[in-house]
Amino acid sequence: MTSVAALLTAVSALVASVATLVKILGELRRLKGTVDHAARSADLSARRTADVRHEVLPNGGGSLRDSITRTEGRVAELARDLGGLRADLRDERADRREADEHTLTGKRLAHAQIWAAIEQLKRRQP
């Protein structure tokens, strides 16, 4: 009987070991799924990062960085043009003021001459 008891003890220990092994295999399967998911996520992140790098670094025309560079250049050009237009406008205003002053002075002189002529005519009348 001792050999039957020993055999039963051995079988019981074997069943416990197999059950533990099945648990370990289940955990390994679950862990493999987690690792696979992490690998897919890392791959997706790498592709997205590459897409972002492609847009934020100059690449000869089509990237967001290239567009920003073109826009900045055009804005600077427009600012220079606007500065020139402002200077031209200041010059035009100064010229107009000078011409207005000249015209006003001429009108005042003509007005004074007309009144002088009227006064002369008044003195001639009997």
Which 3 state secondary structure label does DSSP give 40?
helix
How does 75-90 read in b/e, with b if 16+ C-beta sit within 10 Å? eeeeeeeeeeeeeeee
What is the token pair recorded at 71? 């826009």
Percent share of the chain, pLDDT over 70: 98
**Residue that the structure tokens 């492609």 belong to:** 54
Give the residue from 27, 5, 9, 6 showing the smallest Cα distance to 17. Answer: 9
What is the token pair recorded at 19? 């059950």
Alpha carbon distance, N-terminus to C-terminus of the chain: 173
pTM of the model: 0.47
Residues in the chain: 126
Give the residue from 14, 10, 11, 34 showing the smallest Cα distance to 22. Answer: 14
Residues 44-101: tens digit of each pLDDT: 999 999 988 888 888 888 888 899 999 999 999 999 999 999 999 999 999 999 999 9
Q: Are 66 and 60 in contact (CB under 8 A)?
A: yes
